[in-house]
Structure 1
């Protein structure tokens, strides 16, 4: 993990700690704020404030993928140790849509 985000003076220590906790997981771990809340003594509101701060600074970005007509939307959360720009977010979205369509075509049910 790059430590550039730890040097970002625009981030609070709470946000830096939350991002470090997120980035310390396996690459395929899905980010759930409720899971992160269980790992610390900080309250739910403190986590939500730090999470929103990381979103505003673009260290966390959310991609919403439609599951189909009347099936809802699924959120995929991405986090990096450097801010995620719009062009990379678009790449992630396209890659994710391709992977999901490939996996649904190969399902056995």
Structure 2
């Protein structure tokens, strides 16, 4: 059997392979644990809500089935429970089994047996599940007000640069950008990468050299022309026609070739 894996940059969950070891958890427990770990920290939910997740699928799991799976995960060390005086039950979810500190404070009565459901308080709504997912989703409405969505930080791709810079040089450049309140975005990296490639080919400058020049000159941005002027490199502008000599004021004519006042020259 071949497995085809797509490259993912966002919207994914890291789960240790120990969860899927043979003889460790049932397929149902693996699936429910993976579902819970894909949710944000402090995501509020109830077993009744979990029972609705598989509605409409080929194999629906009801609330009693959910309780069975929760008990299995608790016995395996992935769940601890906290029952308040009000009867509200909090579930604390671990992405690694905490077998060294078993949940001795709470008895088996906190998760009701399927054949002996808690009729008095069968399911306290909005019980807390805590996991280790770094993705934050704030679409939930509280007190009738919608919270704004939090932006998820995207990892920057430095593959557009010729090579990776020295960490200290990179930190110095980041400090400069921060002092100037200039964000480092992927667009910024792509542009500087183009400048670095050209500076390496035409000026012989390394990535560290380019960043060091930017830091020493206090440049927020980076352009090829700035680098060329900094090192005193003379390059022909694309607008200059080929085959025409342009003479500066520091030009010294060779012997036998002098300027005449009228613009002519001696033969």
TM-score range relative to shorter protein: 0.5 to 0.7
Residue 46 of structure 2 is aligned to residue 32 of structure 1: yes
Give the structure with the larger strand fraction.
1
1:2 corresponding residue in structure 2: 15
Distance in 2, matches of 1:73 and 1:47, equals: 19
Per-residue deviation, residues 20-69 of structure 1 (Å, max 9, x unmatched): 11111111202421111100122233222111111111201101234xxx
Secondary structure at the aligned position of 1:18 is classed as helix
Query: How many pairs were matched up?
Result: 85
Give the structure with the larger helix fraction.
1
Query: Which structure has more RCO (C-alpha within 8 Å, separation ≥ 6)?
Result: 1
Q: 1:88, CA displacement in angstroms?
A: 9.5
User: 1:15, 1:54 within 8 Å by CA — same for their partners in 2?
Assistant: yes
1:106 corresponding residue in structure 2: none
Distance in 1, matches of 2:101 and 2:83, equals: 14
Residue 73 of structure 2 is aligned to residue 54 of structure 1: yes
Distance in 2, matches of 1:87 and 1:65, equals: 19
TM-score scaled by structure 2?
A: 0.29
User: 2:50, 2:63 within 8 Å by CA — same for their partners in 1?
Assistant: no
1:15 corresponding residue in structure 2: 29
1:77 corresponding residue in structure 2: 91
Q: Closer, same or farther in 2 for the Cα pair 1:2/1:43, shift >3 Å? A: same
In structure 1, list runs of 5 or more residues that go unmatched: 67-71, 91-109
Per-residue deviation, residues 66-106 of structure 1 (Å, max 9, x unmatched): 4xxxxx2432111112113428999xxxxxxxxxxxxxxxx
User: 2:80, 2:91 within 8 Å by CA — same for their partners in 1?
Assistant: yes
Q: Closer, same or farther in 2 for the Cα pair 1:54/1:42, shift >3 Å? A: same
C-alpha RMSD of matched pairs (Å)? 2.5
